[in-house]
Amino acid sequence: MCGRYASYKQDRLRPIEEALDHHLYIDPLPARYNIAPSQPVIIVRPAAAGGFEAALATWGLVPGWSKEPKVGYSTINARAESVAKSPAFRSAYRHRRCLVPADGFYEWQVVPGQKLKQPYFVHMADDAPFAFAGLWERWEREDKVLESCTILTTGANPLMATIHTRMPVILAPEDYRNWMQGDADGAAALLKPYPAGKMAAYRVSARVNSPRNDDEQCVAPLPETKAG
């Protein structure tokens, strides 16, 4: 799964703007090194008036049919294998697909003989910003409105398999439009592991285990541990 990620570069939206040939207007957000579920995150989606827009959404999708606007940990990720049929996600999958910009994400590895799991920071090999495949939803009752999102996950590629059995779906820039505007069958073809050779990972400290810690130290590599 993907339970934490980072988005801190000032130009984090530029690769998406270039791929879509569309400027995204949004008030600058502070650098985030340890984004956790239930927090507001940037998403990119088709705009009602045409083109695309950047917006804020709470991480943890709340279905439109939910009685209460409660963000559940079980909806921070949607499994690629079941998203088209899941009651929580199927409507958003058909009609409200989005991008979730990131600079990297965290995953925890089980280490034999150790009580605590070892966190890794996973990023692009060239350290460029990228985008997860996401879904967004709008929950509305009387005067209450909540927009929320989830990140798609799939099986691990060879790099990620050394850390965890699953990974978030990362989209190539040439697939951004197809993911957001194509039909559901075309979108399904994009739900696959990102090439391992284009990614890298290294161990980080347990500082990232607490969402209260949100600074550059979260992404700092431990000495002599670089892999990938």
Q: Name 144's bridge partners.
A: 141
Nearest CA among 125, 124, 57 for reference residue 97: 57
Structure-token pair, residue 124: 């692009």
Task: Give the Cα-Cα-Cα angle 208, 209, 214 (nearest 5 degrees).
Answer: 40
- Report the alpha-carbon distance of residue 68 to residue 59 in Å, rounded: 16
Residues that are catalytic:
2, 107
Residue whose pair of structure tokens reads 């939803």 in the numeric block:
137
Token digits for 225?
């541990």
Which among 154, 168, 174 has a CA at the least distance from the CA of 201? 168
d(CA 40, CA 46): 19
Give CA–CA dist 115/5, Å, rounded: 23
Q: State CA 49 to chain mean position distance.
A: 25
